[in-house]
Amino acid sequence: MVLRASPEPKDKTGKFKKAATDIRKDWDLYLALLPGIAFLLLFKYTPMYGIIIAFKDFNIFEGMAASQWVGLHHFEKLFVSESFLQVFRNTLIISVYKIVFLFPLPIIIAILLNEIRNMIFKRSIQTFIYLPHFLSWVIVSGLFIDLLSVNGGMVNQWITALGGQPIKFLLDSSVFRSVIVASAGWKETGWSTIVYLAALTSIDPQLYEAAKMDGAGKWKMTLHITLPGLVPIILLMFILRLGSVLEAGTEQVLVMYNPSVYNVADIIGTYVYRIGLGEQDYSFSTAVGLFESVIAFILIITGNFLSRKFLQRGIW
């Protein structure tokens, strides 16, 4: 008979002592961490209590506690609502357009900027493409409304001068989504290049030198060195982008759309705004918002799982 020694109990006291020692050693760093933790608790976790509104027939005068519990009634209403199905479809279409047309642009621009050797010219271009990010969507909306206006808009003046007919960019359902994607690209593409430019600095220059000695041209070096070096950050940004696929640019659409294009431009964020604040149906709008958050969470988890399974890379 073989006697096996029982495993020693884990010393939890030792872990607490080590943690206390670490805190005493770097107390200033932990102190600097407190405002961030307080911000998360106050503005991110505390409002989660309001989720229960989605399961109640909320009355603003009675409050959350006294409002009648209705369970999944609002979610049942959500999934049979034709207006929500249209809104959900619009959200997916606009998000997919933005991913397909806008996600690759910062990568391409970052690679092109990385090839510029004249630093004055490079900094000038970077400043020029970064600036739109700092403009609010209200200002950007005003600019595009003036540029695309049927009456005196610069774009329509060019179209007319070339013999074409003026286009109602902001009133025509067939082109409004293109305006949304184009304006989002103009505002955010330049700013998004920053993270890729930072990633490019981490690629070993000796790899390029060795490739050049082997006779590789710019295209082959980009294909076999630059892009593989960017893969980790591209995956990170793509997984994070998946998490916001149902957030198709609420602020942008809200200041640019109008009733004539609701059928192609009304997205989940604007729908929640109209139903929640406009019609004061807080319970239903909360259910819509909760649905959006759950889908976003599932997309991030799924995207990271697939990335780790097939590419052996992920964000955790």
For residue range 29-60, what is the model confidence (pLDDT) as tens digits?
888 989 999 999 999 888 888 888 889 888 88
Q: Locate all alpha helices (DSSP H) within 201-281, ordered by sequence.
A: 205-213, 218-221, 227-243, 250-256, 262-265, 268-273
Average model confidence (pLDDT) for the chain?
Answer: 86
CA distance 145 to 57: 40
pLDDT at 1: 47
What CATH topology corresponds to 81-311? MetI-like fold (1.10.3720)
Which candidate, 238, 235, 200, 237, places its Cα nearest to that of 221?
200
Check pLDDT > 90 for residue 139. yes
In 70-204, where does DSSP find H-type helix?
Answer: 73-80, 82-102, 104-114, 119-130, 137-148, 154-161, 173-200
For residues 164 and 155, give the distance between their C-alpha atoms in angstroms, rounded to a whole number. 11
pTM of the full predicted structure? Answer: 0.81
Q: CA 199 from chain center: how many Å? A: 19
At residue 153 the predicted structure's pLDDT band, cuts being 50, 70 and 90, is confident
Q: Where does the pLDDT of residue 103 fall: very low under 50, low under 70, confident under 90, or very high at 90 and above?
A: very high
Highest mean pLDDT among 6-10, 47-51, 109-113: 109-113
Each residue's pLDDT tens digit, 208-227: 888 888 888 888 888 888 88
Query: What is the pLDDT, as a whole number, of residue 10?
Result: 54
Burial 33-42 (b: 16+ CB within 10 A, else e): eeeeeeeeee
H or E stretch at 310:
helix 282-311
Domain boundaries, the chain: 14-71, 81-311
pLDDT of residue 110: 92
Q: What is the mean pLDDT of residues 98-122?
A: 91
In this predicted structure, the answer to whether residue 116 has a pLDDT above a threshold of 80 is yes
**Per-residue pLDDT reduced to its tens digit, 237-289:** 888 888 888 888 889 999 998 888 988 999 988 888 888 877 788 888 888 88
